[in-house]
Structure 1
Amino acid sequence: MANLFIFGLGYTAKTIASAMEALGWNVQATGSDGDVDFSDSGAVKAALDKATHVLSSVPPDRKSGLDPVLDTYGNSFGEAWYGYLSSTGVYGDQQGAWVDESSPTGTGRRNARTDADALWMKLGARVFRLPGIYGPGRSALDRVRDGKARRIDLPGQVFSRVHVDDITSGVAAALTSDAPAGAYNLGDDLPASGNAVTEYACGLLGIEPPPMQTLEEANLSEMALGFYSENRRVANGKAKRVLDWRPKYPTYVEGLSAFV
């Protein structure tokens, strides 16, 4: 039986865990909903000894910049299959241009994430670079309902995004096919502005879109401002070719419509 050990059983990793258990895999994980305490080195190392596949969804530490998994347990890794949930933020600002897995990394604001991405690549992992993640309970529909949706006046600004189920199917394809090590962008087929997504969500709910604002008027957090400082389109062709992956929700239209 295949044994998958997941570091960090968060929103996305829970969906992956459920999918792999449905395929008959044994899954153990750290995290508040996991069955192994990250700080219990004995339990973690015992799980790693049994694991045929290891997946980390743990981001770098914001203060130290270190990857907690590699920093704590990197020396305990054996011959298992390794995967890492990274971010397309490693590509930095491309002024709306397309990026793929051959594009340079390390030019953006996500320095710690870029360093962790590079370390996992050096380890021989399958590194899944993810854009904005949405899904049940975490989508533009929820922001509109909660009165938190915004429209920012930034002409030409676009983002890529991905439904959590499409991340799951991409990672599952890599897990079950023994995919080659390297980077894989898992994003949808239609990069679009945040305004377009908000407007579509409002239409589905029969709500008037929020007023257009400048960045200054929006009074965004430092993290949100950083998000709006980068502009790129993320190509997913490699995942389609190598993993035979196709997103169930190729655009935000299908993704949001499925929630209504």
Structure 2
Amino acid sequence: MLPITSCDGGSNSDDRSESDTSQVRGHEEILKNTAKVLTLPTPMQIPALLKNTNAVYDASNLLPIVTSQKSYYKSGLLFGMYMLDLGYTSSFSHQQASLNYFKACKQIGDDLGLGVKITQGHVNRFNENLNKPDSLGRIILDMYDLGHKVLIDQEKEGLGFLMVLGCYMEGLNIVLDQAQDHDLILFVHLLNQQKNYGNNLKSVLNGYEIPLEIQQEVKDFNTVLNTLNKIDLPSVYELKSGSKTIVGIKREDITLIKQSVSSFRKSILI
């Protein structure tokens, strides 16, 4: 389930005032035959936190939109990455860029068989709310949730988790490029968050055979997660109280994570 409030088809629903907290929560995945609930990332969390802390929009963080057709599994990763970039451009009210990434997501979604749920109604709502970041955020989360649910209904859960993996790695790219210099406490908070999400995602990916065509991308993800797991990350409370410092965050570890994220993004574009 996705613990958010989404827009319905009515034109008046997008005008409602809603707390930004709906856009910074994680996706909760309830594993079958178990009571365990895992929280996974969504496309709006990191962009919304950066916007709320007055970060400056940087278009160089965006993954270029490719026109060449990608393989089935890489398309799943790319869908998640473009959804994150759509969340980023929408949060900072860059309307043309948002429209470009929305079109890219819609095209990939159609290619993956998601068009049955991500319909012309979403296109119309998106166009009508281009100047309303909060409403766009709800529409984006609605699309993301619907896409994941369609894949589960089609018994393609593995592809759905690849979509989440793309979102995770693209979000980490923005964290490393922007949050580190913008706000140290936010940076540490997001690293802790990505560490938790990464371990949750790894636990579900372990249940699937990784296709040959994306083994390099999964290898990059594993390098990121292994590095995050060995870093002694303080909590925000520990930082603010002075009971712990950032001495455990080593420059070489952050460099390795950056290199792995860069490798992941470059591999997708090939």
Same fold (TM over 0.5): no
* Higher Rg: 1
Query: Structure 2-normalised TM-score?
Result: 0.29
